[in-house]
Amino acid sequence: MLISGKAVAEEILKKLKKEIDNRKLKPGLAIILAGDNPASRIYVNNKVKAASRIGIQATLYEFSENEQRKCLNVIDQLNNDSKVDGIIIQYPIFQSWNFDELVKKINPTKDVDGFLENSPFSGATALGVWEMINAFAKEEGFKKGEEFLKGKKIIILGKGKTAF
């Protein structure tokens, strides 16, 4: 079975846009980039573009390696900003920085990646996988992900901070 990742991503974005429009939301997302990984920069730019397309105000905050204290202060400001609903720290960060220290500064209600124990977004990766399965199902002509999965064995391999 060949399924287009772009088509699946587009389906998920359409669903999110519809929910944002129906609920008349104006979500704000803060993305922190504190690293020099070129792939991370591309990934973050794609996040900002996709967010904009579906009605999310995504703002990128970039820091150089010597600005860790400034980054921690900005996280405090974002926690108290009512226009910011979620915060993401793009991984990997500078090797000299402590990722867990940054995450622990985030207000759990704004921890979009679900790293903090009391985040309302815990299981965000699992939810993302479920959304992909539903999109795959739709691409294959099924109405529900459960129908698509019937009789199949699926293994999901993950690596990194957001693997579940």
Query: What torsion, rounded to 10 degrees, do the Cα atoms 30, 106, 73, 78 define?
Result: 40
What is the CATH number assigned to the segment(s) 5-121? Answer: 3.40.50.10860
Q: pLDDT tens track of the chain, all 164 residues? A: 566 677 778 888 998 999 999 999 999 999 999 999 999 999 999 999 999 999 999 999 999 999 999 999 999 999 999 999 999 999 999 999 999 999 999 999 999 988 888 887 766 566 677 777 877 787 778 887 788 888 877 776 665 665 54
Please give the pLDDT value at position 162.
58
Coil, helix or strand for 87? strand
pTM of the predicted structure, to 2 decimals: 0.81
Please give the pLDDT value at position 158.
61
36-75 CB burial, b ≥16 within 10 A, e <16 = eeeebeeebeebbebbeebebebebbebeeeebeebeebb
